[in-house]
Amino acid sequence: MDYFRNRITFFFWGKKDGKDFEHEKPENWKWGIFYFAKNDYRFIVPKRNNAMGYTLNFAHRTTYIVLILIIAIGILSRILNK
């Protein structure tokens, strides 16, 4: 069970130690707020200021799937509550 937990943690948040060189490159931040790094395998990454939480890697196709699901759930809940 620990193996799967470690793999999931690694996929979402990467290494716990060491530098994150893709995250630090200014060219990976579009307009300073959108993270777009094709070389970064994670789709959830910390924001530039770690105290502000996390953001999505818009170069990762999973990001768009998650966004579509969130929008679809919102629309469905709105339709079903009428």
How far is the CA of 46 from the CAs of 35, 51, 64, in angstroms? Answer: 10, 9, 18
Mean pLDDT score, 28-49:
83
Q: How many CA atoms does the CB half-sphere of 58 hold within 13 Å?
A: 9
Segment among 1-5, 13-17, 65-69 with least mean pLDDT? 13-17
Q: Confidence band (pLDDT; 50, 70, 90) for 3?
A: low
CA distances from 65 to 18, 27, 48, 61, 68 (A): 29, 24, 23, 7, 5
In the structure, what pLDDT confidence band is assigned to residue 72 with cuts at 50, 70 and 90?
A: very high
Q: How confident is the model over 50-74, as a mean pLDDT?
A: 89
Rounded average pLDDT over 15-20: 54
